[in-house]
Amino acid sequence: MRIAENNFLDGENSTLTHQINARTARADTQPKAYGRDVFRRIRTADVCRVSRHLATLLRAGMPLVPALTALVEQLREGQAKDNPLADIMEQVADEVNSGKTLSGSLGKHSDIFSGLFVSMVAAGEASGTLEEILVRLADILEKRVHLAAKVKAAVAYPLMMIVVAVAVVVFLMSVVVPGITTIFIEMNRPLPWPTKWLISTSAFMRTYWVFLAVLIFVLLLGIGAAYRTPKGRYWIDRSKLKLPLFGKLFLKLEVARLSRTLGILLASGIPILSALDIARQVVQNSFIAGVLGSVKDSVSKGEAIANSVKKTGLFPPIVYHIISTSQVSGNLEEGLIDVADMYDGEVELATKTLTSLLEPVILLCMGAVVGFIVLAVLLPIFDINQML
């Protein structure tokens, strides 16, 4: 599909843009009950499964309302009667049966179906390619889940090792060390500096452990509270991109997600400005979302998207070079999807590399700390043996 810079001025695309913006605006006013309910939370993988199943039913020739009814029946099979996703899809089926559009009905559940999902369904309804759009949505959600799972695994494993290491050290310092060092103190003999430091640290931890626990709790609570504010989340998201080792990984993950989203939206016939607006809602990093806002402003003033992306200084040079080349050739959506595929591969490779590097580093650090504790305990024993 050839994308022109001013395609949003076309009559048909203007109508589609108006419909998408209206549905997205209505979706933002709806309550987000299931999104806040931890026990009934609906995962992205569940939405992906719904999209693929519905596409399969429609491709088989089943009309939309019977297909939605069959989907609800499938969701309830072998599960609890209060399956939240089945309840939502049943409401959607009832509204579609009463004459409402599928995108409008899905938009009322914005905590489950994102602006990307609703907008692409609207584009599919307008172009008569709903089955194809649903398959594309399933593909993009599957890739997102797969990629996010790899990054979480890469981050979770080192964190788990760090937690275990800290727990071991705290146990040694608060339970094992005091019992051993008491003997050295009672002997009233000069002690090596590692042993003195160990005794002082152990005594501090046992004396102020309540204060330390409260301090850590307040710190975590403060970070969580700050993340729920726009300024706090913006600062934290920006800081995440500057982290050593993990910063580039987070950036590549967001670039992959953003590029694939824009590519799929453009391939579905959604105008560039509307696609950028929808992509801002999909991006999980608020700092990058703000950068996308400046890109959209520049494009709306007639500047090429490649130049707008380059001016941000955030994205790697290869990104805007691919965008520029594909824009000239009229295959902007294909270029964006190529960028996404490239960074998907880089994220997978980076996660494997990080895991393989961090594991020995954490083990070495833990070994060094435990070794220091053992050395501090053994030094006085060696001195005593030499004097006997």
Place of tokens 């003033």: 301
Q: Are residues 149 and 263 in the same domain?
A: yes
Q: Which domain holds residue 125?
A: 7-138
Tens of pLDDT, residue by residue over 269-314, are 888 888 888 888 778 889 998 999 899 999 998 888 889 989 888 8
Write the DSSP assignment of 138-168 as a string of letters. Answer: HHHHHHHHHHHHHHHHHHHHHHHHHHHHHHH
Q: Which one-letter DSSP state was computed for residue 110?
A: T
User: Counting every residue, how long is the chain?
Assistant: 388
Q: Give this prediction's pTM.
A: 0.71
Provide the number of structural domains found in the chain.
Answer: 2
- Cβ atoms 324, 334 nearer than 8 A: no
| CB contact set of 339 (below 8 Å; sequence gap of 6+) | 255, 256, 259, 263, 318, 319, 322, 323
Q: What is the CATH number of the domain that holds 112?
A: 1.20.81.30
Which of 138, 158, 179 lies at the terminal end of a domain, its last residue?
Answer: 138
Question: Which of 234, 212, 132, 171 shows the shortest CA–CA distance to 373?
Answer: 171
| Positive/negative CA dihedral, 72, 73, 74, 78 | positive
Greatest alpha-carbon pair distance for the chain in Å reads 98
Whether residues 131 and 155 fall in one domain: no
SS3 of 176, please?
helix
**Confidence band for 13, pLDDT divided at 50, 70 and 90:** very low
252 shares its domain with 129 = no
Structure tokens at 312: 């941000």
pLDDT 10s digits, 316-355: 899 989 988 988 888 888 899 899 889 988 888 888 888 7
Q: Round to whole Å and give the CA distance between 304 and 361.
A: 45
Same domain, 179 and 123: no
Is 2 among the domain residues? Answer: no
Closest-CA residue to 143 (of 111, 168, 116): 116
User: Of 138, 153, 181, which closes a domain?
Assistant: 138
Structure confidence at residue 23 as a pLDDT band (50, 70, 90) = very low
Of 22, 375, 1, 354, which is closest to residue 161 (Cα–Cα)? 354
Picking from 138, 162, 179, the residue at the C-terminal end of a domain is 138
Amino acid identity, position 28: D
pLDDT, mean of residues 173-186 = 78
Asked if 208 and 259 sit in the same domain, the reply is: yes
Residue 78 belongs to a domain: yes
- Please write down the long-range contacts of 164-170, taking CB distance under 8 Å and 24 or more positions apart: 165/362, 165/365, 165/366, 165/369, 168/366, 168/370, 169/366, 169/369, 169/370, 169/373, 170/205
Of 13-17, 209-213, 316-320, the one with minimum mean pLDDT is: 13-17
Assign 102 a pLDDT band (cuts: 50, 70, 90). very high
- From 30, 46, 126, select the one nearest 84 (Cα to Cα): 46
23, part of any domain = yes
How many C-beta atoms surround the C-beta of residue 347 within 10 A? 25
**Encoded tokens for 356:** 């393989």
Is-contact 32 114, C-beta < 8 A?
no
| Region for 316 from its dihedrals, namely left if φ exceeds 0, alpha if ψ lies in -120 to 50, beta otherwise | beta
- Compute φ and ψ for 244, nearest 5 degrees: -65, 140
**pLDDT confidence bin for 387, thresholds 50/70/90:** low
Under 8 Å CB-to-CB from 51, ≥6 apart: which residues? Answer: 117, 134, 135, 137, 138, 141
Tell me, yes or no, whether 75 and 172 share the same domain.
Answer: no
Residue with tokens 């993990």: 246
Same domain, 375 and 354: yes
